[in-house]
Structure 1
Amino acid sequence: MSRSLRTAPSAVLVALSCLLVPFGTLAAWAAYGLTDTRDYVTTMAPLASDPAVRDAVADTVGDEIAREAGMNPLFLRDAVRSFTATRAYRTAWNAGNEAAHTAVMRALNDESADRDSYPVTVDLAAVTSPMKRQLTADHVPFADHLPVRHTRVALLPPDELAVLRKGYHVLDVAGFWLPLAAVLFAAAGIAMAACRRRAVTATALGTALGGALLGLAVAIARRLTLSDLPDAAHRPAAGAVYDALTATLRTASWLLLALGLTVAATAWLTRPHSPAVRLLRRRRVSATPLPTAPPEPTRVRV
Structure 2
Amino acid sequence: MRSGLSAVLIALSCLLVPFGVLSAWAAYGLSDTSRYVTTMAPLADDPDVRDAVADTVGDGIMQEIDHELDARVRRGTITPFVHDAVRSFTRTEAFRTAWNEGNRAAHDAVLRALRDERDPREHPVTVDLAPVTAQVKARLAQDHVPLANRIPVQHTEVDLLPAQQLGRLRKGFHVLEVAGFWLPIAAVAFAVAGLALAARRRRALTATALGTALGGALLALAVAIGRSLTLADLPAEVSQPAVGAVYDALTATLRTTSWILVALGLTVAALTWLTRRPHLPFRRRRTSTAPTTRTRPEQPPPRVRV
Give, in whole Å, the separation in 2 of the partners of 1:235 and 1:211.
Answer: 27
Q: Is the 8 A contact 1:24 1:178 kept in 2?
A: yes
1:172-191 equivalence runs, <5 A? 172-191=177-196
Partner of 2:2: 6
Partner of 2:94: 88
Following TM superposition, by how much is the alpha carbon of 1:127 offset from its aligned partner in structure 2, in angstroms? 1.2
Which consecutive residues of structure 1, in runs of 5 or more, have no partner in the other structure?
Answer: 275-302
Instruction: Please state if 1:144 is matched with 2:116.
Output: no
Q: Is the 8 A contact 1:104 1:156 kept in 2?
A: yes
Following TM superposition, by how much is the alpha carbon of 1:232 offset from its aligned partner in structure 2, in angstroms? 6.3
Give, in whole Å, the separation in 1 of the partners of 2:232 and 2:175.
Answer: 28
- SS in structure 1 at match of 2:204: helix
Give, in whole Å, the separation in 2 of the partners of 1:245 and 1:18.
Answer: 25
After superposition, the C-alpha distances for 1:100-131 in whole angstroms (9 at most, x for unaligned) are: 00000000001125531x33100011211122
Give, in whole Å, the separation in 1 of the partners of 2:101 and 2:238.
Answer: 25
Instruction: Please state if 1:41 is matched with 2:47.
Output: no
Give, in whole Å, the separation in 1 of the partners of 2:33 and 2:216.
Answer: 27
Give, in whole Å, the separation in 1 of the partners of 2:64 and 2:237.
Answer: 25
Give, in whole Å, the separation in 2 of the partners of 1:103 and 1:113.
Answer: 15
Q: Is the 8 A contact 1:96 1:126 kept in 2?
A: no
Give, in whole Å, the separation in 2 of the partners of 1:156 and 1:44.
Answer: 19
Instruction: Please state if 1:20 is matched with 2:16.
Output: yes
Instruction: Please state if 1:234 is matched with 2:239.
Output: yes
Give, in whole Å, the separation in 2 of the partners of 1:250 and 1:226.
Answer: 18
- SS in structure 2 at match of 1:85: coil
Q: Is the 8 A contact 1:13 1:186 kept in 2?
A: yes
After superposition, the C-alpha distances for 1:212-246 in whole angstroms (9 at most, x for unaligned) are: 00001000110110011122660000000000000
Partner of 2:52: 56
Q: Is the 8 A contact 1:88 1:131 kept in 2?
A: no
Partner of 1:154: 159
Following TM superposition, by how much is the alpha carbon of 1:64 offset from its aligned partner in structure 2, in angstroms? 1.2
Which consecutive residues of structure 2, in runs of 5 or more, have no partner in the other structure?
Answer: 67-73, 280-306
1:121-270 equivalence runs, <5 A? 121-231=126-236, 234-270=239-275
RMSD: 1.6
Give, in whole Å, the separation in 2 of the partners of 1:179 and 1:141.
Answer: 60
Partner of 1:101: 107
Partner of 1:75: 81
Following TM superposition, by how much is the alpha carbon of 1:132 offset from its aligned partner in structure 2, in angstroms? 1.7
Give, in whole Å, the separation in 1 of the partners of 2:223 and 2:259.
Answer: 12
Give, in whole Å, the separation in 1 of the partners of 2:238 and 2:6.
Answer: 52
- Give the aligned residue type for 2:271: T
Give the TM-score taking structure 1 as reference length.
0.86
- SS in structure 2 at match of 1:65: helix
Give the TM-score taking structure 2 as reference length.
0.85
